[in-house]
């Protein structure tokens, strides 16, 4: 490691009060279990730590990769030549009077939903069983069963890439769209977020949540299977106000479920999900994704857009 990188590492360790790892395999931090080493890997459990780490990286002009649950992410086999920062802010606080819940960005989305349902609060039960953490779910406006995280967001604490801490209380600031937000476009980092909830019937909420989890398990891989979830975005509706067209339906029609490159294979129950069935490389996944994309393009004249983000 160069003298400049050693100085950077020392500055990060002083700011974070913890050791910064060199050459840590990012495969251990992604749901695909794919990815080469990061030049440096650090952990932040407070807003101020995120801000200090990003400010240091910005001043040193090195790239920073922010990690939560590592879902929806494919990291290059060559790794990431910069700072990988694991955001681990936890904690859930329910304001009964204000009808809101605040959670740290590192809280698993499924855990937040489970807590709300168990205490009889409605609003996020559509996301029962959704993989990943709150931070990533907001950034990509994750959604399912007709709901999306942006629909319920009231406010958030963000950290800009230069380390500035922002308190955003106007939901329109986020400019949420289908699987996108201003967060992705600006590179800001979610530290904690507040969602609108309301009292509901606990028994009915538990029933809805169980139905959502069961429906997910019917078509999606079981927890622990190495995957990043749906690989391509669903297509825009054919007419204004219509439903989005499922990318999986088109992929099914071109025989995608039979496709495989190395240890990257299309999931047997969902044609829009790629799984790592052994020791798949990022190169395998990219090659398989391009084969799937080309088959849809040739058959339907439609260009699929990745939902999974590639890094490195």
Q: Which helix (H) or strand (E) is 15 found in, with range?
A: helix 3-16
Known catalytic residue: 307?
yes
User: Sheet harboring 273-276: ordered strands across?
Assistant: 227-230, 273-276, 264-266, 260-261
Catalytic annotation, pick one of 43, 179, 226, 293 = 179
DSSP per-residue codes, 106-158 = TSBHHHHHHHHHHTTEESSGGGTT--SBHHHHHHTT-EETTEEGGGTEEEEEE
Known catalytic residue: 268?
no
Catalytic annotation, pick one of 52, 88, 125, 307 = 307
Known catalytic residue: 179?
yes
Catalytic annotation, pick one of 11, 76, 181, 230 = 230
Which CB contacts under 8 angstroms, 24+ apart, belong to 254-258?
A: 254/292, 254/295, 254/296, 254/299, 255/295, 256/292, 256/295
Output the CA–CA distances (angstroms, integers) from residue 193 to 1, 93, 166, in the order listed. 37, 10, 12
CB 82 within 8 A of CB 39: yes
Output the CA–CA distances (angstroms, integers) from residue 93 to 103, 112, 241, in the order listed. 6, 10, 36
Q: Which residues are catalytic?
A: 179, 230, 307
């Amino acid at each position: 490691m160069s003298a400049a990188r050693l100085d950077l590492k020392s500055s990060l360790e002083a700011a974070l009060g913890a050791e910064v790892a060199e050459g840590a395999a990012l495969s251990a931090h992604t749901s695909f279990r794919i990815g080469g080493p990061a030049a440096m890997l650090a952990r932040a459990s407070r807003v101020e730590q995120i801000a200090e780490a990003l400010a240091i990286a910005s001043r040193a002009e090195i790239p920073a990769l922010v990690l939560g649950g590592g879902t929806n992410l494919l990291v290059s086999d060559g790794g990431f030549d910069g700072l990988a920062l694991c955001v681990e802010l936890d904690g859930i606080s329910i304001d009964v009077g204000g009808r809101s819940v605040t959670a740290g960005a590192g809280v698993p989305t499924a855990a937040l939903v489970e807590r709300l349902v168990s205490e009889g609060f409605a609003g996020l039960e559509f996301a029962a069983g959704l993989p990943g953490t709150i931070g990533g779910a907001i950034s990509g406006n994750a959604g399912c069963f007709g709901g999306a995280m942006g629909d319920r967001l009231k406010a958030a604490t963000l950290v800009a890439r230069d380390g500035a801490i922002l308190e955003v209380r106007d939901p329109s600031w986020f400019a949420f769209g289908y699987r996108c937000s201003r967060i992705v476009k600006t590179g800001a980092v979610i530290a904690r977020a507040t969602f609108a909830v309301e009292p509901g019937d606990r028994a009915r909420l538990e029933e809805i949540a169980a139905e959502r989890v069961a429906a997910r398990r019917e078509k999606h891989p079981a927890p622990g299977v190495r995957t990043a979830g749906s690989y391509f975005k669903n297509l825009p509706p054919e007419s204004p106000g219509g439903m989005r067209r499922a990318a999986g339906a088109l992929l099914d029609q071109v025989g995608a479920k039979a496709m495989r490159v190395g240890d990257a294979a299309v999931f047997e129950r969902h044609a829009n999900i790629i799984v790592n069935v052994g020791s798949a490389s990022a190169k395998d996944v990219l090659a398989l994704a391009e084969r799937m994309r080309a088959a849809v393009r040739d058959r339907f004249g439609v260009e699929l857009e990745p939902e999974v983000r590639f890094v490195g």
